[in-house]
Amino acid sequence: MPSDQEILKQFKNIAKDIWKTPTIDNIKMDFECRKGGCLMSVRHNARAKAYAIGNTLVRTPSEMTLIISDEARNLPKKQFTQLLKHEALHLGYQRHDADFRRIANKLGIPITFSLLNDGGYNVQIKDGTRYKTVETFQTLNEARSYAERIAHKDVSLYRKAIKGKTSKEARDISETYKKKRRKIRVSY
Ligand SMILES: [Zn+2]
């Protein structure tokens, strides 16, 4: 089983290979091993969001933590390397969006692994026919409570709107509300 330092070194080399930039050396990288949970993830400790165009790294967090579960550590070497590659791609793309997938496919990096939830938990609101991410969280609980807060806000607006109205008026308001109500979901 590789040591923490060996894993970080391998991760750095993979990241340099993908992004072809020495700025990777400037990132302060920490390592965390977890029992259970998701296989592997990258936590961006700095506020600056990752941003890339194609395989050019435009912006990447100055500090990050590579989180690996025991389960991942016990994977065959080849699979483990694939996981590291996937995580290294997250230095430029925080989510599994179209750009992430395009580069991943080009480089032969898997997009999903079972038990992997490293793209974060996205709170999404339906916009037209598609769901759009409004906020991303590290844990499912945080994402759920945020989604609930949005939903509660909508309900309280509705309650305010029907206050003091006749039942017919309230019914009309209720119909409009049902149509206009924002559809919220948590995706990962
Ligand atoms: Zn990912």
Return the CATH number of the domain spanning residue range 4-119. 3.30.2010
Facing residues of 65 across strands? 30, 43
For the entire predicted model, the pTM comes to 0.62
C-alpha of residue 112 to centroid of ligand 1, in Å = 7
pLDDT of res. 72 = 86
pLDDT digit string, tens, across residues 85-120: 999 999 999 888 889 989 999 998 988 775 455 556
| Beta bridge pairs of residue 53 | 56
> Which of 16, 3, 138 lies closest to 88 in space, CA to CA?
16
CB within 5 A of ion ligand 1: which residues?
A: 118-119
**CA 101 to ligand 1 center in whole angstroms:** 10
Tell me: pLDDT of 47 over 70: yes
How is residue 39 annotated by DSSP? S
Q: Where are the domains of the chain?
A: 4-119, 122-187
CA–CA dist 115, 181 (Å, integer): 33
Q: What is the pLDDT of residue 89?
A: 94
- Tell me how far the alpha carbon of residue 117 lies from the centroid of ligand 1, in angstroms: 7
Tell me how far apart the alpha carbons of residues 7 and 82 are, in angstroms, rounded to a whole number: 13
Rounded-to-integer distance, Cα 36 and Cα 134, Å: 28
